[in-house]
Amino acid sequence: MIVRRILIGAPLVLIIFLLQSYVWVPTYEQQTKGNPQRLTEYITASIGDASILNPILSADSASNDIEAMVFEGLIDRDKDLRFRARLARSWKIYEEAFFYINEKASIPHLGKAGAPEIVRLLKRAQGGYVPVSARVKNSLDNIGEIVIIPAREFVATRQEGEEKKGAGKRVVRIQVSAPARIKLILKKVDQDLFEHLSTLLGSDYFRSFPAQAFLSLSEEGRAGIKTKTDYAQETLPATEHNPVIIFYLRPHVRFHDGHIFGAGDVKFTYEAIMDPKNLSPRIADYEPVKEVEVVDPLTVRIRYKRLYSPALGTWAIGIVPEHLLNNEALKHEAKNAGKDPEQFSMRQSAFNRHPIGCGPFSFREWQSDQYIALDRFNDYWEGPPNYMRFMYRIIPDLLTQEMEFYAGTVDNYAVEPHQVQRLKNDPTYQNFSGLSFGYTYIGYNMRRKPFDDPRVRRALGMAIDVDKIIRYVLYSQGERITGPFVKQTDYYNHRIEPPPYDPQGALKLLAEAGWRRNKEGWLEKDGKRLQFTLITNSGNDQRKAVLTVVQDAWKQIGIDCRTDLLEWAVFVQERVNKADFDALVLGWQMGIEPDLYQIWHSSQTHPYQLNFVGFKDPQADDLIIKIRQEYDHGRQVAYCHKLHELIAREQPYTFLYVNKWTAVLDKRIVIRETDAKGNTIYKRITPTKTGNYTFYFNKWIKIPEVPVLSVED
């Protein structure tokens, strides 16, 4: 019926285009006959285009897919989820810990004491001359060096208040007369150090340190928002944990333009993330950093302000080239483009559409909403990939993706739920499946009414039959989810039950919030109908179906919900990044680490940040910080379970489901290696523990015939 209308009413050129797209796609054999280049070209498809090809600025999956090929981090995780060296060949982690001498405190069996007496006490305890528990002894044995830092005077400044038009923030001048301080160099991070030292120095030794007695403020500071105690805690903390990571970088690594990679690029990447002009969504990951120091061209020392357990993992971010993006380069670019150099930021740079990294593939071309083309980087430090070219095609229609996969013009296909039973055991293809590291949800803009009321948010979730969505939209290829952690990890709280499907219960909650049906059956409050728009991106049939099911469910209880589908770039850049929406259907792809600061902390609610629903809760903030600073796995899990429970109670999202995924590849795609005798061998592709079947992508190749696999496979 649809085809007949197209053929009757469409102009000839459209008919030809449709025939070429859906009928005249060349088969794999036709493509490779006389064209061996197709064997060395990998083509994948995406429903949406990338937005910005810069790892410190992007936050969408399409951009991340390309960045993973173009850029390289200092580390990543191996197939067994252990950290492995990449641009860094090795690293060392230790800690510098500090505490001020509290001369007014009385130490058990010692009385009041200065720095030399404290040092002698610590060394005697290390030598076994002072009886301590086994845990305290472990902390003492971890101390490699003890140093006395003499008393000193200095001036500190702090900015206070909001920056106003025509005037900057108020500067508070703080005169400090700091007492002597002890520096402990620890062989490894010890978060319980000061708790254990309290058994030697007295339970109140650190808590009773009178920091404010050593400060005097300018007149302006005295009239400020913060108290003297606040400034004292910031300027003279009684104790301080400073974890340190030293990265030793690989020599002779080059960016795609031939420039040598070095420690300066690592320092620059950090500084670019922290530069407020760039509006990086990654700031939260690097705010705990105190300083990044270039020790020499191949050594970088990163010192942290406080305990931060995810620290090492953050350096998997792609490193960007300083020589192309520093202030001088950006000013030069701005002048050439006729723009104001003072207002020009990295976000406006042409680099973001022509990226240069030091990953396995170099950028060649980007045709918006069509494709992104990458070429093999022959000077890649680990050896060039087997594929000569990587093509990322934008195909918003999933049916077209499927047909092109069958024809061989796309090399992989993410199987739709309704096709799983048919394709997951098809001997024609290699099949991979697993449970996703992430979830799909409905997010509510809590800055807008009625979503500022938790009763309304909970009621909206109770009106939706999520099991029905999983059964009919996902064809049972999904599972319920109740909170923000990866379901396969122990951070996820399996004791939390999802909101029940209970439309009548939802109406009772809405009535408590003041919403009642009018004569037409719509819910209203103070004469205003409960009306809003639910949006998502086009090209995703699952989300589109969820939109329809949810709209109907809410309509059944009297909610006037409109829906809208937006092209991916518009959806992300104009609506999500600017928090310009009522409610949306979206998903998160998560990592293994339980750090949720970027998505849930109240400080991350500004434009281009990831807490775009505007969730703010002091208890949640406290738990998020504790999770970040906790090194003991059991305690970290306990904090995660409490955070999960809190978020599930507040319902800033209606958590829907986590997908089960299935992907298929042609059997002619294999891993090609060379054995000790120089012979070429082929191995089948096997997934990692997390189900990642692309881990060895740089060794993949497509060959004309299905090969005989090596004996070990």
Let me know if residue 306 belongs to a domain: no
The answer to the question of residue 470 being in a domain is yes
DSSP collapsed to 3 states, 210-268 = CHHHHEEECHHHHCCCCCHHHHHHHHCCCEEEEEEEEEEECCCCECCCCCECCHHHHHH
Q: What are phi and psi of 78, to 5 degrees?
A: -85, -175
- Measured CA to CA in angstroms, residue 107 lies from 124, 146, 206, 238 at distances of 15, 19, 11, 16
Please, what sign has the CA dihedral across residues 683, 684, 685, 688? negative
End-to-end CA distance of the chain: 50
Enter the tokens of residue 36.
């061996």
User: Alpha-carbon distance 671 to 685, whole Å?
Assistant: 6
Is the domain of 517 the same as that of 568?
Answer: yes
Query: What are 548-554's contacts with CB under 8 Å, separation 24+?
Result: 549/464, 549/465, 549/468, 549/469, 549/473, 550/442, 550/464, 550/585, 553/463, 553/464, 553/465, 553/503, 554/460, 554/463, 554/464
In angstroms, how far is CA 49 from the centroid of its own chain?
19
Is 581 part of a structural domain of the chain? yes
Which whole-number Å values give the CA distances from 390 to 70, 374, 533, in the listed order?
A: 11, 5, 39
Question: Are 546 and 611 contained in the same domain?
Answer: yes
Task: Check whether residue 567 and residue 705 sit in a common domain.
Answer: no
- Give the domain extent around 583: 438-661
Q: Do 570 and 482 share a domain, yes or no?
A: yes
Nearest in space to 175 (alpha carbons), one of 155, 191, 152: 155
Q: 242 with 303: CB under 8 angstroms?
A: yes
Burial of 439 (0-12, 13-18, 19+ CB in 10 A): buried
- Residue 248 backbone class (left: φ over 0; alpha: ψ -120 to 50; beta: rest): beta
Whether 637 contacts 490, CB under 8 Å: yes
Q: Has residue 560 been placed in a domain?
A: yes
Residue 54 domain-assigned (yes or no) = no
- Give SS3 for 579: coil
Q: Residue 172 in contact with residue 160, Cβ under 8 Å?
A: yes
One domain, residues 588 and 706: no
Query: Rounded distance, CA 572 to CA 587, Å?
Result: 12
Together in a domain, 206 and 174: yes
Q: Which residues of 523-535 are buried (b: 16+ CB within 10 A; e: fewer)?
A: bbeeeeebebebb
What's the CA gap between 604 and 612, in Å, rounded? 8
The DSSP code sequence of 22-80 is HT-PPPHHHHHTT-GGGGGEEEEEESS--S---TTT--SHHHHHHHHHH---SEEE-TT
CA–CA dist 180, 169 (Å, integer): 32
Q: What distances in angstroms separate CA 52 from CA 58, 354, 570, one per listed residue?
A: 6, 10, 13
Last residue of a domain, one of 243, 269, 292: 243
Shared-domain flag, residues 651 and 673? no
Last residue of a domain, one of 226, 243, 260: 243
> Does residue 495 lie within any of the structural domains?
yes
CB-based contact 414:664 (threshold 8 Å): no
Give me the pLDDT at residue 658, please.
95
Q: Count the neighbouring beta carbons within 10 Å of the beta carbon of residue 492.
A: 21
Residue 5 to residues 10, 14, 15, Cα–Cα distance (Å) = 8, 13, 11
Q: Quote the tokens at residue 189.
A: 């991070």
What's the pLDDT score for residue 678?
A: 87
How many domains is the chain built from?
3
Q: Specify whether 228 is located in the same domain as 115.
A: yes
- Distance, in Å, from the CA atom of 110 to the CA atom of 185, rounded to the nearest integer, reads 24
- In this prediction, residue 159 carries a pLDDT of 75
Contact 432, 693 (CB under 8 A): yes
Q: What pLDDT does residue 29 have?
A: 53
Together in a domain, 588 and 492: yes
Q: Give this prediction's pTM.
A: 0.82
Compute mean pLDDT per 10 residues along the chain, 713 residues long, and list them.
30 30 42 66 94 94 95 94 95 97 91 94 94 94 97 86 55 90 96 95 94 82 66 91 98 98 98 95 94 98 96 96 97 95 94 98 97 98 96 92 90 88 83 90 97 97 97 93 94 96 97 95 95 93 94 97 93 93 94 92 93 97 95 94 98 96 90 88 87 92 79 47
Specify whether 129 is located in the same domain as 239.
yes
Task: Give the integer Cα–Cα distance in Å for 286 and 270.
Answer: 7
| In the block, residue with structure tokens 């809208």 | 564
Q: How far apart are CA 267 and CA 307, in angstroms?
A: 20
pLDDT of residue 138: 95
pLDDT of residue 232: 86
* C-alpha angle 24-29-33 in degrees, rounded to nearest 5: 105
For residues 118 and 175, state if they share a domain. Answer: yes
Rg (CA), the chain: 29
Does 387 reside within a domain? no
- Same domain, yes or no: 504 and 648: yes
Instruction: Specify if 678 maps to a domain.
Output: yes
Choose one of 207, 225, 243: the last residue of a domain.
Answer: 243
User: Which residue has 């991340």 as its token pair?
Assistant: 64
pLDDT at residue 156 in the model:
86
Omega cis (within 30) before 116: no
